């Protein structure tokens, strides 16, 4: 079910407040806003509030077993790709970039932010449907660049259904098939060159050596043959 509001500060913040206040928010329900005034992305970045774009959040109840909660970012990225592919006549231009970026013709199409609150993971997603922001040093894209984007309500329903399917597979079969699905649609070929900008400012260069089976961390092979495991950062 989709709850659509005209404006809010942040759908993630709204769901976190509901969980903290004991109001709860059932898994499978989505809060979607036509406009956000305080949206955020990974590493505290401001999320662009573009009219006609998708901005919404849902929650996942954490159990005592299952894959690491942070790997829900792969679930979310696959669901976004599924929903965007359904809106395109040809999905070949879509690609996935570690850790959770969905790209269209090489431009960043969406943003995903996971936050924990009272035994739940809040999954916040933004997708450029109508227009993309101008970001210095980074290519961006919107569905409207290549097609007439679907109405917000239709896209929200498609994304919610895709996320439910991908979440079910993550829970039922574990992380392995989810990572395999991510890699099958990713832009990362084994041995392809990568530069990693770590959260502490460190810059590392090497080649793509796969993902850790336990948590989806990126394996970077350095020039001397050693491997570094990267769990946070931006890559180019």
Tens-digit pLDDT profile for residues 149-188 = 999 999 999 999 999 999 999 999 999 999 999 999 999 9
Task: Determine the pLDDT at residue 129.
Answer: 96
Task: Determine the pLDDT at residue 47.
Answer: 54
Task: Determine the pLDDT at residue 197.
Answer: 84
**DSSP secondary structure letters along 68-113:** -GGGHHHHHHHHHHHHHHHT-S-GGGEEEETTTEEEETTEE-EEEE
Tens-digit pLDDT profile for residues 102-150 = 999 999 999 999 999 988 999 999 999 999 988 877 899 999 999 999 9
- Reported pTM: 0.92
Task: Determine the pLDDT at residue 143.
Answer: 96
Tens-digit pLDDT profile for residues 17-61 = 999 988 878 899 999 999 988 755 544 455 556 678 999 999 999
Please give the mean pLDDT across all residues of the chain.
Answer: 90
Classified as helix, coil or strand, 153 is helix
Contact present, 84 and 125 (Cβ < 8 Å):
no
Task: Determine the pLDDT at residue 114.
Answer: 96
- Structural domains for the chain: 2-184 (3.30.930.10), 193-235 (2.30.30.100)
Which of 21-35, 51-65, 75-89, 190-204 has maximum average pLDDT?
Answer: 75-89
Q: How far is CA 141 from CA 29, 38, 75, 135, 159, in A?
A: 27, 21, 21, 11, 18
């Amino acid at each position: 079910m989709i709850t659509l509001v005209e404006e809010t500060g942040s759908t993630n913040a709204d769901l976190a407040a509901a969980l903290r206040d004991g109001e709860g928010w059932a898994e499978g329900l989505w809060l979607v806003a036509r406009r956000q005034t305080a949206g955020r992305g990974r590493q505290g970045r401001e999320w662009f509030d573009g009219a006609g774009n998708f901005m919404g959040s849902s929650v996942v109840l954490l159990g005592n077993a299952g894959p690491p909660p942070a790997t829900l970012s792969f679930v979310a990225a696959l669901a976004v790709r599924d929903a965007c592919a359904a809106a395109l006549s040809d999905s070949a231009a879509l690609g996935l970039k570690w850790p959770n970026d969905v790209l269209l013709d090489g431009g960043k199409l969406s943003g995903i932010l996971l936050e924990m609150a009272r035994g739940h993971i809040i999954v916040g997603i933004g997708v450029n449907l109508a227009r993309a922001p101008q970001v210095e040093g980074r290519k961006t894209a919107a569905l409207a660049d290549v097609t007439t984007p679907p109405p917000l309500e239709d896209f929200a329903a498609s994304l919610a259904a895709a996320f439910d399917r991908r979440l079910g597979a993550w829970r039922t079969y574990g992380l392995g098939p989810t990572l395999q699905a991510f890699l099958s649609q990713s832009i990362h070929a084994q041995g392809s060159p990568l530069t990693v900008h770590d959260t502490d400012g460190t810059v590392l260069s090497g080649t793509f050596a796969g993902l850790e089976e336990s948590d989806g961390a990126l394996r970077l092979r350095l020039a001397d043959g050693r491997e570094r495991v990267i769990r946070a950062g931006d890559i180019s």
